Amino acid sequence: MTAKESISTTSKSALESLGISVIEDFIGARTSPRPEERLEEVRQRAQQFRKRLLAGTPVDYFQSVDIVSAPYPTKYAYLNAVKSVVPFIFLGNRAFIIQFQTSQGKKTLLFGPADVEGNTKTPFFKLLTDKLGRIGELTKERLLPFYSSVEVELANAGISPESIDYISYDHLHTQELRKWMGTSTTPAYFPNAKLLVMRQEWESAQGLLVTQKKWYCPEGTRDIPLDRVILLDNSVMLGDGVALVQTPGHTEGNHSLVVHVNNQIYVSSENGMSVDSYAPLQSQIPGVKKYAEQFNMEVILNGNTLENSIDQYISMVMEKTIAGPNPDHPEFFNVISSSEQAHAWHTRTVNPAFRFDQMKIGHYQA
């Protein structure tokens, strides 16, 4: 274990006071200079972590809700693999509501809540609509159709903004956080929520390179009170049945949501774009299976930024190992992409095998 990977005693005790515990299973798993050894070490540890999580207590309540969809270049979605003239697929962004027990009582996590209007300031999407000019304004509803909103879905579930204890995202691409977390001059929509974010992701967002900037919402974290932010240096268990696990690669500070529900484990991030990304040998998307066979690929990366493609590949294997097979489609895995490729008639030739439906499991207790 290197000094950089060691657990800070102060940080650990501070987290424990919130009912959060550090996961030690993966510390040191990526220290070998040989990528193949890192992959196999992570895979082995992921198998053991899965067994341990399944033997524990599941969460009390788990709900996924669709928020908005957005166009996304096919060349990024399935890096180097797709053989199609379809230039864009559509991603359906979703949020997760999870209630669980901790040593400090019952807590509620809201994972991936999109501020849809705020997020449109992200340079990539702003450039896309600007290029279309007046046509872009006329077709905005088609390019960015609303399914719902975070506010509406929480109200429908009977959950007040004051009841949210934590907010988190697998990474901070496109995220405008100030509406939710507040600033020195603007009250927070979620007045009691803390933002859980990997330290590396938070620090990256404060000093981006030009290769990163088009994917981050300008000033999306500016002036957020630092006492509302909990910086994480390791994977953590938030409480019974729910974890945030470090999965670097897509961004340096990426992490994945891991949830134990009804003897199933669901994992969510944006390392991959669909179930096909994690089981490419089963894919019917043109070119994906052939590419995977030709290069012996276990997974196909989401490749818009490629901050570290080796780590991303290892992280995707880690994710599908923790998740395990989907009970209805056992040839695929229980990895629910936080922005998952949507089925659409105009992209039907590159549609994934299936898309996870919205889910609601258990009962929320106010």
Parallel, antiparallel or unpaired: strands 360-362 and 264-268: unpaired
Give the pLDDT of residue 7: 57
Sorting pLDDT into bands at 50, 70 and 90, what band is 183? Answer: very high
Please, which pLDDT band fits residue 69 given cuts at 50, 70 and 90? confident
List, in sequence order, the alpha helices (H) in 139-240.
Answer: 140-143, 150-156, 178-181, 199-205, 210-213
The b/e string for 294-322 (b: 16+ C-beta within 10 A; e otherwise) is eeebbbbbbbbbebbeebbbbbbbbbbbb
pLDDT for the residue 70:
85
Cβ–Cβ contacts within 10 Å for residue 212, how many?
16
Pair of tokens at residue 357: 């439906």
Asked whether the predicted pLDDT for residue 139 surpasses 90, the reply is no
> pLDDT at position 41, please?
98
pLDDT at 1: 35
CA-angle at 143, arms to 140 and 149, nearest 5° = 85
How many C-beta neighbours within 10 Å does residue 67 have?
22
pTM for the full model? 0.94
User: Has residue 2 got a pLDDT over 50?
Assistant: no
Give the tens place of pLDDT for each residue, 332-345: 999 999 999 988 88
109: alpha, beta or left? (left if phi > 0; alpha if psi -120 to 50): beta
pLDDT at 128: 73
pLDDT in tens, 315-332: 999 999 999 999 999 999
Residue 203, classed as helix, strand or coil, is: helix
- pLDDT of residue 4 exceeding 60: no
Beta strands in 88-235 (DSSP E): 88-102, 105-111, 166-168, 194-198, 229-232
Task: Report CA torsion sign: 119, 121, 126, 130.
Answer: positive
Output the CA angle 300-327-38, nearest 5 degrees.
Answer: 40
Cα–Cα dist 207/230, whole Å: 19
CB hemisphere CA count around 338 (13 angstroms) = 29
Ranges 137-141, 238-242, 303-307: which has the least confidence: 137-141
Q: Which residues contact 242 (CB under 8 A, 6 or more apart)?
A: 59, 98, 100, 109, 257, 258, 259, 260
Q: How far apart are CA 7 and CA 32, in angstroms?
A: 19
Residue 203 CB coordination number (10 Å): 13
Q: Could you state, in order of their start, the residue ranges of all structural domains in the chain? A: 3-357
Q: Which residue(s) pair with 231 in the sheet?
A: 197
Instruction: For the chain, give the percent of residues with pLDDT over 90.
Output: 83
User: What is the maximum alpha-carbon separation in the chain?
Assistant: 56
Give the distance from CA 201 to its chain's centroid.
13
3.40.50.10470, 3.60.15.10, 3.40.50.300, 3.20.20.70: CATH of 3-357: 3.60.15.10
Residue 5 pLDDT class (50, 70, 90 cuts): very low
Cβ proximity of 85 and 290 under 8 Å: no
Using 50, 70 and 90 to split pLDDT, how confident is the model at 282?
very high
Contact (CB, 8 A) for 235 and 22? yes
Q: How far apart are CA 340 and CA 159, in angstroms?
A: 25
Cα–Cα dist 261/59, whole Å:
6
